[in-house]
Amino acid sequence: MLTVLLGLCGALSYGVADFLGGMASRRARAVTVTAMTAVVGVVPLVAAIPLLHARFTPAALLWGSLAGVAGSIGVVLLYTALAIGPMSVLSPITSVFTALIPVAVAVLTGSRLTPLTAGAIVAAVVAVALVATAKNTSGARLTARGLLVAATSGCGFGALVLAYNATNPADGIAPLIVARVVQAALMWVGVLLMIRRTAAARRRPTLGLPSHWRFWLTVICCGFFDASANVLIQSGLHSGAPATTLPVVSVLNALYPVGTILLAAIALKERLTAIQIGGLGLGFAASVVLALN
């Protein structure tokens, strides 16, 4: 029950962070917003050290660094995929691979799933695809390149989950802090490259950041929810036997579009389709089965 609760809360936190990041990206470049939220996310993690404990061992540095690199690859390729193809197709592909990679690794390394658990995981993966679908009105064309980039992005996010799963619970949130610092550094390198390219084209480098307080509040909240999601996911992975928690948490983590879609429906008055509502119901039912099994 605790594993499922932590996995769902982590997914919802990711969904809220994605919604806020998307809103902020309407006013500034996505790579800049990502870099800023990565820096913001370090603050609550460091502040939580006295409460949640952090031990910076070589293993924590290793797995934290790998998680930071994997997360950066996932984010960059996700934005790339959504820029070159239809979001309604590529977004669920990313989510599905985010779930399937850790599940596949868990099964290959000896995890034994009961038929009911396996069925619930399959249902949750289907729910991910249904929830993330939306009518494509952009006219964007689906290409092999878009599919490959989206799938690779999902593999990056799946590798992030695997890296967190490999951390030592005794190290506390140290791997999360390392991952956040590494991701922030990589994202800011991307920002600097963007500025350099802009300077070469326009001869006036700029970040193009708005000064309105709502933008900065959105960025701060996005960083906070993203950091919280990482804590919840890692806690879920360490809440029981790894052979059991890895496939369950990875699939529930992939339900993060739920939070984004629900907030879009509430705040932006975007209407849910019947398919999305069905996906929400299927995801909830799968979560209940996983919690009770």
In order along its 293 residues, the chain shows pLDDT tens digits of 788 889 889 988 988 888 888 788 778 777 788 888 999 999 999 999 998 899 999 999 999 999 999 998 888 887 777 666 665 566 777 778 888 888 888 888 877 777 887 888 888 878 877 776 666 555 556 677 878 888 898 899 999 999 999 999 999 999 999 999 999 999 898 888 877 776 666 655 555 667 677 888 999 999 999 899 999 999 999 988 776 788 888 888 878 777 777 787 787 776 777 887 888 788 778 877 776 66
Whole-number pLDDT of residue 149: 85
- Residue 249 confidence (pLDDT): 87
How far, in Å, CA of 107 to CA of 112, rounded? 7
Q: So what's the pLDDT on residue 291? A: 64
Residues 211-225 as b/e (b if ≥16 CB within 10 A, e otherwise) read: eeeebeebbbbbbbb
Q: Where are the domains of the chain?
A: 2-292
d(C-alpha 75, C-alpha 284), whole Å? 26
How distant, in Å, are the alpha carbons of 85, 98, 129, 242 from that of 105? 29, 12, 21, 11
Return the sign of the alpha-carbon dihedral for residues 264, 214, 38, 193.
positive
Q: What is the pLDDT of residue 70?
A: 94
Give the whole-angstrom CA distance, residue 99 versus residue 255: 9
| Cβ contacts of 51 within 8 Å, gap of 6 or more | none
d(CA 264, CA 266): 5
Reading phi first (left if > 0) and then psi (alpha if -120 to 50, else beta), residue 125 is in: alpha
pTM (predicted TM-score): 0.83
290 neighbors 120 (Cβ within 8 angstroms): yes
What is the dihedral angle through the alpha carbons of 113, 117, 118, 124, rounded to the nearest 10 degrees? -140
pLDDT at 96: 80
